[in-house]
Amino acid sequence: MSLAELICPAGTPAALRTAVDAGADAVYCGFQDATNARNFPGLNFTPDELAASVAYAHDKGTKVLLALNTYPPAGKVDLWRQAADTGALLGVDAFIVADMGVADYIARTHPGVRLHLSVQAAASSPEAIRYYCENFAVKRVVLPRILTIPEIREIRKEIPCEIETFIFGNHGLMVEGRCSLTNYLTGQSTNMDGVCSPASDVEYKRHTDGSMSSQLAGFTIDCFGADEKAGYPTICKGRYTAPHRSEPYYAFEEPISLNLSRLLPDLVEAGVHAFKIEGRQRSKSYVRGVVSAFRQAVDDIRAGREANIADLVALTEGQKQTQGAFETKKWR
Amino acid sequence: MSAGDDTLPRAADLGTSVLARLSCVIVQPVLTRVVRRVAKQHPSLFSRLGPHQGTDFVIDPVELPFALHLRPDPQALVFRAVARNAAPEAGATIRGKFMLLLELVDSEEDGDAAFFSRDLEVTGDTEAVVRLRNALDDVDGSIAEETAGMFGPAGRAILARLRRAYPT
């Protein structure tokens, strides 16, 4: 059986302490800049905050993983190198990287620190994963959310590193690390600036009939009726009119979250080493609730008991959940 | 209805307005103490607010007779109760039931989940709201409990009663 480590999100030092106290095996976080894919206003860590947080986590036996999972624009690698140097100095347990240049720098400069391949690298074949392992000594791959469990089981047999999969949270099925939708509307890049639907470009409008529209850079991407649940203002989950449709429709995805709580035993059996919870942009309340629920579930599985999973639908986007491609390739 | 009816305040509106202004006068001393105490106890809040320390937030507890005006400028803090028709032009407005807003301040509820369920409504500058949310979320402990504690056993009793009255 794999270890089934629980990898938990932290957007602030207080959220990190919450995750540690709720039973995280490892917490992942990022600096307050473009080096990570949750470069949101008011979120993330200063170097001093990360130092204190690493000390707190290590004192409780929890690892800290530093997300450096964006792509430096050509010729502008210094920010990523400095972040790696700072992270190594502060004693983080692993870097989560997507860019080969960043991976190469860390492999050469800080060979004692583990490298994990971010989902943003979109490595979904044994050949791609082996390339990262052989060239940059990657120890773990975070798989894109496009594979079935049988496919994961087959990949596991053919790669020399650990597998981490998302089990809960945001569910976006773009080719991860390649999405340019935000860039198209706002000029900012999800993959290089670390911002998907930057808050500075988001506006919500309340209408007299109780409906609410969400806009990004002046474009309306959805309008929720008075009694409808809402989702994030991301283009991939927008609802659009089209000449061939009589009603607005979700062209790419719909507001929904991944929840694999019922598939945890199958994932363990398939050889998944670590379970990742998405949501560095979420509150301590979310971290406390989701981490506690999955801590209990993983402990049950480790002990050979049937996992008793708390109902987490209230925390899901649009208050809907799916097992996505993990259950069937027919998803979307 | 005649044209004249539109221009004269109705008795019910007048009553609401008087109630709002009276409520503001009653709660204002409490709000002033609360905001000063929070600022003193949690100075790190302000760095996460960044350029939005000077933003005017209007926080609208829908069932109360007044709204709250917050400008989290550490040099000139503003936190005051205002009648809705006298609220300043808001950089950002946050609207929801009182207890939900209180639980969000304390991270007892998740803001995104409250937004998804439509219990929380945000208009205006979204970045300002995201910064305020993240700043508050990095505070350890309960601002509501701290505030209640400022007023001793009576304050704690009122908070407990509020929580019973607003089951989540």
B111 touches chain A (CB under 8 A): yes
| Chains A, B: CB pairs < 8 Å | 99
Region(s) of chain A under CATH 3.20.20.70: 5-173+256-327
pLDDT tens-digit profile of B81-134?
Answer: 999 999 999 999 999 999 999 999 988 999 999 999 999 999 999 999 999 999
Of B110, B123, B138, the CB nearest to A286: B110
The answer on pLDDT for A221 being more than 70 is yes
B78 HSE (CA, 13 A, CB side):
16
CA of B95: which chain A residue's CA is closest?
A206
What is the average per-residue pLDDT within A233-251? 93
Q: What's the CA dihedral at A141, A145, A151, A152 to 10 degrees?
A: 40
Tally DSSP H helices, then E strands, for chain B: 8, 5
Most A CBs within 10 A among B49, B137, B168, hence the mutation to make, goes to B137
Judged against a pLDDT cut of 70, whether residue B167 lies above it is answered with: no
Query: Which residues of chain B neighbour A284 with C-beta distances below 8 Å?
Result: 107, 137
- In the numeric block, the tokens 């829908």 are attached to B62
Cβ of A199 within 8 Å of Cβ of B137? The answer is no
| Neighbour tally for B140: CB within 10 Å | 11
Domains of chain B, with CATH numbers? 9-139 (3.30.1050.10)
CB A31 within 8 A of CB A309: no
Do the Cβ atoms of A40 and B48 come within 8 Å?
A: no
> pLDDT tens for residues A275-301?
999 999 999 999 999 999 999 999 998
- Among the partner-chain residues B111, B118, B126, the one whose CB lies closest to the CB of A203 is B126
Q: What is the ipTM of this complex?
A: 0.94
Q: Do B112 and A281 touch (CB under 8 A)?
A: yes
The closest alpha carbon to A53, from A85, A86, A79, A99, belongs to A86
Q: B98 vs chain A: nearest CA distance in angstroms? A: 18
**Crossing angle (nearest 10°) for helices A149-158 and A126-136:** 40
Mean of pLDDT values over A243-249:
93
Helix axes A13-22, A47-59, angle to 10 degrees: 10
Q: For residue A156, what are the contacts with CB-CB under 8 A and spacing of at least 6? A: A163, A270, A271, A272
Q: Which residues of A touch B139 (CB under 8 A)?
A: 14
Q: Count Cβ atoms within 10 A of the Cβ of residue B104 and give its class: 0-12 exposed, 13-18 middle, 19 or more buried.
A: buried
Contact B116 A316 (CB under 8 A): yes
Chain B residues 35-94 with a CB less than 8 Å from chain A: 48-50
**pLDDT for B4:** 43
Alpha helices in chain A (DSSP H): 13-22, 47-59, 78-90, 100-109, 126-136, 149-158, 181-186, 264-269, 284-302, 324-327
Provide the token pair at A315.
């925390």
Q: Half-sphere exposure of residue A14, counting CA atoms within 13 Å on the CB side?
A: 23
DSSP label of A169: E
Q: Cβ contact (<8 Å) for A212 and B121?
A: yes
Calculate mean pLDDT across residues B15-33. Answer: 80
Q: Do A40 and B130 touch (CB under 8 A)?
A: yes
| Integer angstrom CA distances of residue A298 from A2, A65, A142, A163 | 11, 20, 18, 16
Query: Smallest CA–CA separation between A211 and chain B, in Å?
Result: 10
Express each pLDDT in A159-189 by its tens digit. Answer: 999 999 999 999 877 678 889 999 999 999 9
CB distance A213 to A222 below 8 Å: yes
pLDDT band at B12 (very low <50, low <70, confident <90, very high): low
Our CA angle for A8, B138, A83, nearest 5°, is: 65
With pLDDT > 90 as the criterion, what percentage of chain B qualifies?
54
* Class in CATH terms, A5-173+256-327: alpha beta
**Residue B3: band (very low, low, confident or very high) from pLDDT cuts 50, 70, 90:** very low
pLDDT digits (tens, 9 = 90+) for A64-93: 999 999 999 999 999 999 999 999 999 999
Interchain CB contact of B138 with A (< 8 Å): yes
Above 60 in pLDDT, residue B6?
A: no
- For residue A15, pLDDT over 50 is answered with yes
Mean pLDDT, rounded, of chain A? 95
Alpha-carbon gap, residue A181 to A238, rounded angstroms: 11
The pLDDT of residue A227 is 93
Q: Please answer yes or no on whether A14 and B140 come within 8 Å at the CB atom.
A: yes
d(CA A49, CA A35): 16
From chain B, the residues in CB contact with A281 under 8 A are 112
A61 has a pLDDT exceeding 50: yes
Distance CA B99, CA B85 (A): 22
Residue A107, pLDDT above cutoff 70: yes
